[in-house]
Amino acid sequence: MCRSIKTLRPPALPEEATEEDIRAAALQYVRKVSGFRAPAAHNREVFDRAVDAIAEATAELLDGLEVRGTPARQGERAG
């Protein structure tokens, strides 16, 4: 399952990761950790919240990374 999670930062990904890329990686992570490809109805809410939280954390991580030799991402802090 997690083998399909790809590196989302340059230079491994030539363009900026999209929200779709980030969400797909988060979904794969939650599937692997939970052991469920698709959760039962009684687990759907917590499963979806975990995907949302991981996607948010991933976007924050990617926005904050400084990768040498690559142009600054739009929206990065100055300095």
Cβ distance 7 to 61 under 8 Å?
Answer: no
Instruction: Please give the Cα distance from 4 to 29 (Å, whole number).
Output: 10
Number of domains in the chain: 1
Tokens encoding 44: 């759907």
Does residue 72 belong to any structural domain of this protein?
A: no
Residue 35 burial (10 A CB sphere; 0-12, 13-18, 19+): exposed
Does residue 77 belong to any structural domain of this protein?
A: no
Does residue 47 belong to any structural domain of this protein?
A: yes
Q: Is the pLDDT of residue 4 over 80?
A: no
What pLDDT, in 10s, does the model give residues 6-65? 889 878 877 889 999 999 999 999 999 999 999 999 999 999 999 999 999 999 999 998
Domain of residue 32, residue span: 2-64
pTM of the complete model: 0.78
